[in-house]
Structure 1
Amino acid sequence: MPWREMSVMEQRREFVRLAMQEGANRRELCRRFGIHPSTAYKWLARWRADQDVADQPRRPLGSPRRTASALEQRVVAVRDAHPAWGARKIARCLRREDVSPPAVSTVHQILRRSDRIKAPLGGAAASQRFEMPAPNMLWQMDFKGWIRLGNDAQCHPLTVVDDHSRYDVALQACADQRGETVRDRLEMTFRHYGLPDAFFVDNGTPWGDPSGARWTRFEVWLLKLGIGVIHSRPYHPQGRGKNERFHRTLKAEVLALRCFRDLAETQRAFDAWREVYNFERPHEALDQEVPASRYRPSRRPLPDRLPEPEYDTDEIIRTVPATKAYISFKGRSWKVPQAFCGERLAIRPTSDGTYGVFFAAYQVATIDLTDGKSVGHVSEQVSAMSPV
């Protein structure tokens, strides 16, 4: 077998056997095998002691600074009693028991060594991302926290970011967060970039309702345009990570240590920076490409007139009064969401004694003829409606 095909261990054993032969020239063997003499004599000593010539582990036999075994066992015991607790909570618990705990990082390492902490599948949770496969499938929309202007007025920056490309389709300096204000700004955006398939928003004003009701007038307007609305989980802003990250960048690169006189000056600054962000600033999540490299305007234009839902001629249709959120059915009045005042709704049977109340293809409430209890509101989920 050629020399280059021999394993390292085979070479070492052959060297030792040759070096142990009577009359062997060990220095010459060292030169031929490419081995330092001190290493060769170390291997020979191990061979005489009936030890292998493999590399010995470099881990020290003892660690005088290692946490005492009893303390490690106590850390593990607290973890087993409270599996959801992390290193900080465990250290605090030990301190309350008059036990001097090791550093929090050491407690964390103890939990890892004892297999009480497992690395999440697929890597750390913070690196997990979702991304739509094409532009305009989902836009993330939110208000950044308001800022005080030089004229003592407030500015509420409205931000809209395309999920696929991170392209900023709208950055508007608004005087308030009313639905009419957002609608006006979005109509201008829709004229430039077309309509998205859906918006991803939180549960705040104007796309959400503080009362917990699912439907708002703003959302009804979007539904008429064929735009879906997806609400994030309450108190989980990380779900809208792209928009939150955009806000951090906006604060660092535009708003930090600057004071604008009025909304007009703020909007000029937003417009100048928005061009840099979309066309010049490399984005780490895009392999250092710019958002404009991945964005294309939507093929769905903003219609000249707002579409209205269409229903079959044989369906039961009711128009909700403009001032009262009730419809009449089977000789009784039934409550519907306030957002549909003035809108036409369809009543469709779903099961024995139960009917669905629909706005186009969206079920907005349920009529249950078997339940005589009344309800005072419509929750975020489809509610069982009762006569009033």
Structure 2
Amino acid sequence: MLSFGRAFVAWKEWDRVSLRREFVRLASVEGANVSAVCRQFQISRKTGYKWLARYQADGDGGLSDQSRRPKNFRSPTSPELERQVLAIRDAHPTWGGRKIRARLRHLEVEEVPAASTITAILKRHGRISEQASWERTPYERFQRDAPNELWQMDFKGEFKMSNQQYCYPLTVLDDHSRFALGLVACGNQRRPTVQQHLVNLFRRYGLPQAIYTDNGPPWGSLNSPTRHTRLTAWLMRLDVQVIHGTPFYPQGRGKEERFHRTLKAELLQNRHFDDLAHTQSRFDPWRDMYNQERPHEALDLAVPASRYHTSSREYPEQLPNFEYSEHFQTRKTNSMGQFQFAGHVHKASEAFSRQQLGLRESGEDGIWDVYYCHFRIGQLDQRTHGGPLRRPAETWDKSK
């Protein structure tokens, strides 16, 4: 049985099978470091290779006591095939002919019909209607070149549970693969809550190069000269870029917005949840299905898990020390995030309270770039009488 130490405890049988499946698929990616994946899943190499061997021998069936082998059909228009198509549609009412066809092929069903034939089956059995069909809004598609180059993070809109408390779903998505790294039922949107869940994800998947967020709390503040918060300062200490999207421009978070729409349509809409534990018990299998089974249009109908592998950058349990090179002057901020330079007081942000900042000339007369660790967080004008740092056009560029 997979064991996940502090972050994952008391898993039921389904959860164990789900985690085993995710482990073997990540460890089976070409070029994957199996030892590193074992460490991220907090299992021994012996246990990891055992599940890899069982998976290679029997596929998903080797990870569970129940057989997961799909049925094969003699005829693409047989009653058995139609029942299979309708069962997939009933389980996933927003899926159309293309997605169902991709799922049947993934299940190695013989003689899978064309998407148009599957659509005809759905229409013939009354499964296609205005209510059941997904109303698509096209997005301009772009993506990073490899997994873990960029994660996107946001909260899905809150909803009230049966206990009259609110759930705030925290979602974390890999930009390249659309792999849903995290779908967490949170009771609030505060920094300690988000930070602990990020630690759990970092331990499991490693560190990304960058994380893209909006400007709302706990990862952004439009009232801060640099937009940064204590959460993003912590991420920068881990050498993770923080990219704040353009204010009031949600299209920049298109993948997260699209994921939220899918989550609402396939899981949240017209459903009731008792409390956070019950909500999470519904989130976990849906996330597994989204990653492992649901064909994705933007991936040529591949599943996200087929495009994702864990990061080679492992999470450090202790924050690493950081020292600026000789090219920087350094200043330590006070509790308000202020520091003195050239006889004047400048304000970075309370996010950098009592931290060392690095300053170096920008090449423009009187303008100094201000860095926190590797990242430029703002600029100051030596010719002024102090005040807040100004935010440069591209604060997410790492220093050379």
Q: TM-score range by the shorter chain?
A: 0.5 to 0.7
Aligned partner of 2:306 among 275, 284, 293: 293
Out of 312, 317, 321, the residue aligned to residue 304 of structure 1 is 317
Aligned length: 256
1:359 aligns with 2:348: no
Aligned with 2:169: secondary structure?
Answer: strand
Q: TM-score, normalised by structure 1?
A: 0.61
Q: How many Å apart are 1:142 and its aligned residue?
A: 0.8
How far has the Cα of 1:353 moved from its partner?
A: 4.4
Alpha-carbon distance between aligned partners in 1 of 2:142 and 2:280, rounded to the nearest angstrom:
31
Residue 172 of structure 2 corresponds to residue 160 of structure 1:
yes
Query: Which residue of the partner structure matches residue 196 of structure 1?
Result: 208
Shift of 1:153: 0.7
Indicate yes or no: 2:285 matched with 1:261: no
Map 1:319-334; keep pairs closer than 5 Å.
Answer: 319-321=332-334, 323-334=335-346
Q: What displacement does 1:299 show?
A: 1.0
**Aligned-residue offset at 1:194:** 0.6
Secondary structure of residue in 2 paired with 1:169: strand
The superposition leaves residues 87-118 of structure 1 with CA deviations (integer Å, 9 ceiling, x where unpaired) of xxxxxxxxxxxxxxxxxxxxxxxxxxxxxxxx
Return the TM-score normalized by structure 2: 0.59
Q: Give the RMSD, CA atoms, in angstroms.
A: 2.3
Alignment partner of 1:317: what SS? strand
How far does residue 304 in structure 1 lie from its aligned partner after superposition?
A: 2.0
Instruction: Give the secondary-structure state (helix, strand or coil) at the position aligned to 1:261.
Output: coil
In structure 2, C-alpha distance between the alignment counterparts of 1:361 and 1:139, rounded to whole Å: 19
Q: How far has the Cα of 1:181 moved from its partner?
A: 1.1
Looking at structure 1, the residues matched to 242 and 378 of structure 2 have their Cα atoms a distance apart, in angstroms, of: 17
- Tell me what 1:381 maps to: 392
Aligned to 2:189: 177
What do residues 48-100 of structure 1 show as CA deviations (whole Å, max 9, x unaligned)? xxxxxxxxxxxxxxxxxxxxxxxxxxxxxxxxxxxxxxxxxxxxxxxxxxxxx
Query: Aligned equivalents of 2:346 and 2:297: distance in 1?
Result: 53
2:133 paired with 1:141: no
User: Aligned partner of 1:233: which letter?
Assistant: T
Residue 151 in structure 1 maps to residue 163 in structure 2: yes
Whether the 8 Å contact between 1:169 and 1:189 is mirrored in structure 2 is yes
- Counterpart of 1:245 (choices 252, 258, 264) is 258
Asked if 1:346 is matched to 2:361, the reply is no
Q: Distance in 1 between matches of 2:265 and 2:167?
A: 17
Deviation at 1:317, TM superposition (A): 2.3
Match of 2:246 in 1: 233
3-state SS of 1:269 partner: helix
In structure 2, distance between residues paired with 1:207 and 1:142: 9
Gaps of 5+ in 1: 1-124, 383-388
Consecutive unaligned residues in structure 2, runs of 5 or more: 1-136, 394-400
Structure 2 letter corresponding to 1:140: Q
Question: What secondary structure sits across from 1:220 in the alignment?
Answer: helix
Q: Which has the larger radius of gyration?
A: 1
Moved more, 296-305 or 331-340: 331-340
Dislocated runs of 4+, deviation >6 Å? none
User: For 2:314, what is the secondary structure of its paired residue?
Assistant: coil
1:231 Cα deviation (Å)?
Answer: 2.0
Distance 1:366 1:380 in 2: 6
The within-5 A match list for 1:4-23 is none
Aligned residue type for 2:329: I
Q: Percent identity?
A: 46
Which secondary structure state, in structure 1, belongs to the residue aligned with residue 185 of structure 2? Answer: strand
